[in-house]
């Protein structure tokens, strides 16, 4: 048995470099092209001055082996990746450990085609991307803080057509100007906060036009779509729920204050809120008279009014908690909401669904105007 174990160990030790040798041969990293001197393009067997038997340790702005890769992927040997992965001014996927190739990393420079990608990728393709190997149902260790990637494609209601690559790119992403969400490496296709508010990239789709940078997909969110969350449409003055830092009132951030595109924790709706909003619980988690403006004890009654008929059959309709239906999918948004209960959303629609009038600043569900039309929708009965 000892002999057998020895044999297995010896074979394993031998097979490691041999397998790398065999995998490189004939691949795009077979620089000699004829199978001779296969390793010497990158390695030197004796007196190597650099790590990993490299002739030298290259210096540069890239990480680990990528600096060595750049000595070829700078256009001199190949143009592959010159404008993306080896574009030093763009944002790249964080490396796993210290390198982009090797144990635990996405690439193995010695193996070109383990999954037919041709890109020396060793991660598995799932749902049209290579992300979910790490960012799948089980968060990858070290990536837990990167947006709770617990369900990579839950952002979009039509998950079959939506992949990570429509918002992210592992190489050549636009560097984020500022990052209130605390993500160090969002690798988005476009800056999510190039100007005033965080969420510009979100709104590049949710603006009623085709996405500015997405190269495929549905063509964006139509102007009439309930997911059209543009901050300024129509007359350019209306506002929806504030996402911009304003003096002392709203915390810094943007869409991310309420939404997490990857983790609709606690919500069964398409809102992808960071917490459940049944009976406006999520609204009042901020509007508790301390952290948000003018909502607290001395505010309009919420609850089940004694005269529930007051809000029945009115035009325009002011929905009870269990009647709110704005998430784009059929049926009530909050299925366990209380029947006949007046909640924040009875009067407000944070993204101004339905109202384009002068009261948009309060993101009222319907125009109130000088005659308090919205108030009277209920209160005329009394």
Nearest residue (CB) to another protein, 71 versus 157 = 71
215 binds another protein (CB under 8 A): no
Which of helix, strand or coil describes residue 203?
A: helix
Q: How far is the CB of 52 from another protein (least distance, A)?
A: 10
Q: How far is the CB of 362 from another protein (least distance, A)?
A: 42
13 binds another protein (CB under 8 A): no
217 binds another protein (CB under 8 A): no
Write b or e for each residue in 92-124: b if 16 or more Cβ atoms lie within 10 A of its Cβ, otherwise e.
bbebbeebbbbeebbbbbbbbeeeeeebbbbbe
38 binds another protein (CB under 8 A): no
194 binds another protein (CB under 8 A): no
Q: How far is the CB of 212 from another protein (least distance, A)?
A: 17
Task: Identify the helix (H) or strand (E) that includes residue 249.
Answer: none
87 binds another protein (CB under 8 A): yes
Phi and psi (nearest 5°) for 281? Answer: -65, -35
Q: How far is the CB of 51 from another protein (least distance, A)?
A: 6
DSSP 268-325: -STT-BSS--GGGHHHHHHTTTTSSTT-SSSS---B--S-GGGGSS-SS----GGG--
Nearest residue (CB) to another protein, 70 versus 227 = 70
Phi and psi (nearest 5°) for 374? Answer: -70, -40
DSSP 150-195: SSTTTTSSSGGG--GGGTB-SSSBPPPS--TT--S---BSS-S-SS
Residue pair 333/269 in contact (Cβ under 8 Å)? The answer is yes
165 binds another protein (CB under 8 A): no
Residues 171 and 351: their CA atoms lie apart, in Å, by: 33
Q: How far is the CB of 170 from another protein (least distance, A)?
A: 18
CA-to-CA dists, residue 192 to 154, 168, 184, 213, 221, angstroms = 19, 11, 13, 12, 17
Residues 163 and 152: their CA atoms lie apart, in Å, by: 8
Nearest residue (CB) to another protein, 174 versus 278 = 174
Interface with another protein by CB under 8 A: which range of 74-82, 199-207, 259-267, 285-293?
Answer: 74-82
DSSP 86-133: T-TTSB-PPPBTTBSBSTTSSB-TT-S-TTS-SS-B-SPPBTTBSSTT
Interface with another protein by CB under 8 A: which range of 4-12, 65-73, 151-159, 258-266?
Answer: 65-73
Q: How many CB atoms lie within 10 A of CB 8?
A: 10
Of residues 90-119, which lie at the interface with another protein (CB under 8 A)? none
41 binds another protein (CB under 8 A): yes
40 binds another protein (CB under 8 A): yes
Kindly tell me which residue out of 20, 22, 27, 50 binds another protein, with binding defined by CB under 8 A.
50
Nearest residue (CB) to another protein, 83 versus 249 = 83
Kindly tell me which residue out of 22, 27, 58, 179 binds another protein, with binding defined by CB under 8 A.
58
309 binds another protein (CB under 8 A): no
DSSP symbol at 361: G
**CA-closest candidate to residue 102, choices 66, 148, 72, 60:** 66
Kindly tell me which residue out of 28, 74, 99, 367 binds another protein, with binding defined by CB under 8 A.
74
Nearest residue (CB) to another protein, 118 versus 303 = 118
Q: How far is the CB of 377 from another protein (least distance, A)?
A: 54
Sign of the dihedral through C-alpha 232, 233, 237, 238: negative
Nearest residue (CB) to another protein, 30 versus 367 = 30
88 binds another protein (CB under 8 A): yes
Q: How far is the CB of 122 from another protein (least distance, A)?
A: 23
Kindly tell me which residue out of 75, 114, 291, 293 binds another protein, with binding defined by CB under 8 A.
75
Contacts to another protein by CB under 8 A? 31-34, 36-37, 40-41, 44, 47, 49-51, 55-62, 68, 70-72, 74-77, 79, 82-83, 87-89
């Amino acid at each position: 048995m000892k002999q057998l174990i020895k044999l297995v160990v010896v074979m394993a030790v031998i097979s490691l470099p041999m397998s790398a040798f065999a995998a490189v041969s004939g691949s795009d990293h077979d620089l000699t092209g004829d199978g001779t001197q296969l390793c010497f393009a990158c390695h030197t067997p004796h007196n190597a001055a650099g790590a990993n038997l490299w002739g030298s340790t290259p210096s540069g702005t890239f990480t680990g082996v990528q600096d060595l890769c750049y000595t070829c992927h700078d256009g001199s040997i190949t143009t592959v990746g010159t404008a993306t992965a080896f574009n030093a001014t763009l944002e790249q996927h964080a490396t796993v450990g210290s390198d982009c190739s090797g144990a635990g990393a996405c690439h193995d420079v010695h193996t070109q085609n383990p999954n037919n990608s041709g890109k020396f990728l060793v991660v598995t393709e799932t749902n049209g991307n290579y992300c979910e190997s790490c960012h799948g149902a089980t968060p990858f260790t070290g990536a837990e803080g990167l947006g709770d990637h617990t369900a990579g494609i839950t952002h979009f209601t039509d998950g079959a057509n939506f992949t990570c690559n429509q918002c992210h790119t592992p190489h050549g992403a636009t560097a984020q100007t500022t990052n209130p969400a605390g993500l160090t490496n969002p690798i988005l296709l476009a800056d999510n906060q190039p100007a005033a508010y965080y969420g510009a990239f979100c709104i590049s789709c949710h603006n009623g036009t085709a996405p500015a940078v997405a190269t495929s997909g549905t063509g964006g969110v139509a102007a009439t779509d309930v997911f059209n969350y543009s901050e300024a449409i129509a007359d350019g003055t209306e506002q929806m729920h504030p996402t911009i830092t304003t003096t002392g009132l709203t915390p810094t951030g943007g869409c991310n204050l309420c939404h997490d595109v990857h983790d609709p924790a606690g919500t069964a709706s398409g809102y992808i809120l960071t917490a459940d909003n049944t009976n406006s619980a999520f609204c009042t988690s901020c509007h508790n008279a301390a952290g948000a403006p003018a909502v607290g004890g001395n505010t309009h009654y919420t609850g089940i009014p004694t005269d529930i008929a007051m809000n029945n059959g009115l035009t325009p309709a002011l929905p009870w908690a269990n009647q709110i239906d704005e998430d784009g999918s059929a049926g009530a948004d909050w299925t366990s909401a209380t029947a006949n209960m007046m909640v924040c959303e009875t009067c407000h629609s944070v993204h101004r669904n339905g109202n384009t009038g002068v009261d948009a600043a309060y993101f009222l569900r319907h125009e109130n105007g000088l005659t308090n039309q919205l108030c009277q929708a209920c209160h005329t009965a009394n």
